[in-house]
Amino acid sequence: MTYSFPEEVLEHVFSFLTSQNDRNAASLVCRTWYEMERWCRKRIFVGNCYAVNPRVLIRRFPEVKAVELKGKPHFADFNLVPEGWGGFVYPWIVEFARVYPWLEEIRLKRMVVTDECLEIVSKAFRNFKVLILSSCEGFSTDGLAAVAANCRNLRVLDLRECEVEELSGHWLSHFPDSFTKLESLNIACLSLEVSFSALERLVSRSPNLKTLRLNRAVPLEKISKLLQRAPQLSDFGTGAYSAEIRPDVYLSLQEAFSGCKKLKSLSGFWDVVPAYLPAVFSVCSQLTYLNLSYATTQSPDLIKVISQCHNLQRLVVLDYIEDMGLDTVAVTCKDLRELVVFPSDPFVADANVLLTEEGLVSVSQGCSKLQSVLYFCRQMSNSALISISKNRPNLTCFRLCILEPRAPDYLTFEPLDVGFGSIVENCKELTRLSMSGLLTDRVFEYIGKHAKKLDMLSVAFAGDSDLGLHHVLSGCESLRKLEIRDCPFGDKALLANASKLLTMRSLWMSSCFVSFGACKLLGQKMPGLNVEVIDERENLNLLPENAPVEKVYIYRTVSGQRLDMPDFVRIMGKDKNGVYNLS
């Protein structure tokens, strides 16, 4: 006898499943659950816009209200993906406009977004509320003006590190005078001046505004006006934090910050003048997030701020903080969960900053809740990595970038295999790892043996042979994204572990030893994969079988060959119509 819950009960149960993985698993239980989950899913996430056709997705999930899409591979952030590669959102927006008139949220990352796309968004979705564009390009302030003018229910407009063609600074004035629903506005990535009068009016009539991140063109003396009109802010990004030293400007700024009783997040600080930093002291004890990655000021000034941030959970700084500043973090910020330290000048061999591995070791000793690290430095040792792994076995993300490729342990001149091996062995919950320095195949053996929950691995200038890649692909059971550049990995390991690629989202390899013939064979052997050869140097039709390819991007797909490939991209194992060629 078969028993089934009533549809109302199932729908209520599914409403508690917020994880996409949990919902996917539930949909596989039986046909009834599949259909119920299909109709009640309101949010979808697509980690690769070429992994599925928008029409296929729409047929599967007909009632979606929120969409998150990613386009270009992660290595696009490091200029490794050629200009014009793809990642166009237009086909998706057209299909959504046709079928989802009730769509409320769109979140895009590393995608090409045109003004036409934004025009469609502004007019097709009658209750549109959230637009978040992260590392996107292709649009201008005209497209933003269309969104401002037509999206009457907009709550969030968030531009994160986007490349925007700034045709006018008056696009904010397109928000109607009756518009009062804005909750979050981030324009930090813009370069040119925006109309301050329009910005001030918008802030003044937005009582629910919680996040406001300004761009560098907003002068310091105007910041206090905005804060006085929005004391309810919980997240604020300053504009330029520099001006001639004037007591009236300082007092006005200090008073404005002291009135922000709910402020939890602070960023911005372009061109900072240290004399104005004490104006923020009144809110420091409230902060859980502090981003000083644009604050090009010295360690003593940074220490004065950080020493008052006792509740900080996330800290982003430049290497100007130095080891002395990180010692202060270790003593002061006992609730710290995430630490990011960027280089102030990555192309200078001997930068005049005293940031070493000791600062990171100090934080690992003092901050017991630390889970995520991104750390740029110029030296590292195995002993330091071992100490970090033992101090913080709860790390889930560890990304270390030693600025000089293949740099050994600076104390012993040995490879850093043992240090990173200790990280993966002791940090059992590690899901993301980026490695650098002198590394041999031995470290990949450690990773394959111990990193059973690793989801994403980024590697550069490492390894000795194919054996390193084999250890990772054969041993890391949970691996979904693998990024490799300038490593001696080639055909043997790739072809031997072809079936593993079907369980992953993507593999990127550039400047490795993968041959054109191996890519062709892999494309023929695995019809569920798109094997993209990317090579701007050669006519791809003339490459010999044994020629190493410049870049190969391999990803799982149910859509077959994409239709927007430039001349320097070829998908192997398919003919020009997208049909697999097995001959």
More confident residue, 14 or 470: 470
pLDDT at 506 over 80: yes
Cα–Cα distance between 243 and 73 in angstroms, integer? 40
**How wide is the angle at C-alpha 27 spanned by C-alphas 23 and 30, nearest 5°?**
150
Q: Are 361 and 400 in contact (CB under 8 A)?
A: no
Q: H-type helices in 187-318, by residue range?
A: 196-204, 220-229, 247-258, 281-284, 299-306
Cα–Cα distance between 565 and 525 in angstroms, integer? 22
Amino acid letter, residue 27:
S
Grade residue 581 by pLDDT with cuts at 50, 70 and 90.
very low
Tens-place pLDDT, residues 254-289:
999 999 999 999 999 999 999 999 999 999 999 999
Tens-place pLDDT, residues 388-442:
999 999 999 999 999 999 999 999 999 999 999 999 999 999 999 999 999 999 9
Give the list of residues 6+ apart from residue 544 with CB closer than 8 angstroms, or none: 516
The residue with tokens 């990555």 is: 346
Average pLDDT over residues 308-328: 97
Tens-place pLDDT, residues 79-117:
999 999 999 999 999 999 999 999 999 999 999 999 999
* b/e sequence 251-276, b meaning 16+ C-beta within 10 Å: ebbbebbebbeebbbbbbbbebbbeb
Cα–Cα distance between 542 and 241 in angstroms, integer? 55
- The dihedral built from the CA positions of residue 195, 200, 203 and 205, taken in this order, carries a sign that is negative
Which H/E stretch holds residue 467?
Answer: helix 466-475
DSSP class of 547: P
SS3 for 63? Answer: coil
Percentage of residues in the chain with pLDDT exceeding 70? 94
Which H/E stretch holds residue 21?
Answer: helix 20-27
Grade residue 33 by pLDDT with cuts at 50, 70 and 90.
confident
The residue with tokens 């600080």 is: 269
pLDDT at 211 over 90: yes
pLDDT number for residue 583: 27
388-390-391-396 Cα dihedral, nearest 10 degrees: 70
pTM: 0.93
More confident residue, 19 or 299: 299
pLDDT number for residue 1: 37
Radius of gyration of the chain from its Cα atoms, rounded to whole angstroms: 25
Tens-place pLDDT, residues 555-572:
999 988 898 999 999 999
Q: Are 562 and 50 in contact (CB under 8 A)?
A: yes
User: Phi/psi zone of residue 135: left (φ > 0), alpha (ψ -120 to 50 degrees), beta?
Assistant: left
Grade residue 292 by pLDDT with cuts at 50, 70 and 90.
very high
Grade residue 579 by pLDDT with cuts at 50, 70 and 90.
very low
Grade residue 11 by pLDDT with cuts at 50, 70 and 90.
low
pLDDT number for residue 61: 87
Which H/E stretch holds residue 213?
Answer: strand 211-213
SS3 for 109? Answer: strand
Q: Mean pLDDT of all residues in the chain? A: 93
Q: H-type helices in 77-231, by residue range?
A: 90-99, 115-124, 141-150, 196-204, 220-229
Amino acid letter, residue 263:
L
Cα–Cα distance between 222 and 256 in angstroms, integer? 11
pLDDT at 577 over 50: no
Average pLDDT over residues 118-130: 97
pLDDT number for residue 540: 80
pLDDT number for residue 28: 67
Percentage of residues in the chain with pLDDT exceeding 90? 85
Tens-place pLDDT, residues 125-135:
999 999 999 99
pLDDT at 536 over 70: yes
Measured in Å, how far apart are the chain's first and last C-alpha atoms?
Answer: 50
Amino acid letter, residue 537:
R
pLDDT number for residue 3: 52
Tens-place pLDDT, residues 357-380:
999 999 999 999 999 999 999 999
pLDDT at 45 over 60: yes
SS3 for 264? Answer: coil
Amino acid letter, residue 495:
L
Q: Beta strands 105-109 and 66-70: pairing type?
A: parallel
Q: Are 581 and 573 in contact (CB under 8 A)?
A: yes
pLDDT at 29 over 80: no
SS3 for 391? Answer: helix
pLDDT at 191 over 80: yes
pLDDT at 521 over 90: yes
Cα–Cα distance between 341 and 360 in angstroms, integer? 10
